[in-house]
Amino acid sequence: MARSIPVFIFFLLSLTLADDIATNTPVPPLQWINLTNLLQGNSPPPLKDAAIGYDETSRSIILFGGESQGGFPQGQTYLLNLDSLTWDVPSPPSGLHRTPPA
């Protein structure tokens, strides 16, 4: 019982400090920024339900697949380099086929 009291006091103290930090730290509002005019390269077509990821090493956004405006599934991969703001379509490594054998 004696050990649980300091833990409980620490818990209450941490809640009090967390509240102060959360209410006193200014956070800018989230907003969309249209980068379309700043981008170079061939951008991907409009896609629905595409998968998106981020590679921290190359600072690239990876966009794969999705559904075209016509409703057809897509299997293309697109990369957006965040340093140069350039779209690119990567090529598969040599010896690797674009599609698996049937």
* pLDDT of amino acid 22: 56
pLDDT in tens, 79-90: 999 999 999 999
pTM > 0.95: no
State how far the Cα of 60 lies from the Cα of 82, in Å rounded to an integer: 6
pLDDT bin (cut points 50, 70, 90) of residue 65 is: very high
pLDDT of 44 higher than 60:
yes
pLDDT, average across residues 43-70: 94
Q: Across-strand partners of 51?
A: 64
Per-residue pLDDT averaged across 22-32, rounded?
74
How many other β-carbons are positioned within 10 Å of the β-carbon of residue 58? 12
How many residues are there in the chain? 102
Tokens of 94: 């040599």
Nearest to 85 by CA among 47, 50, 51, 41: 41
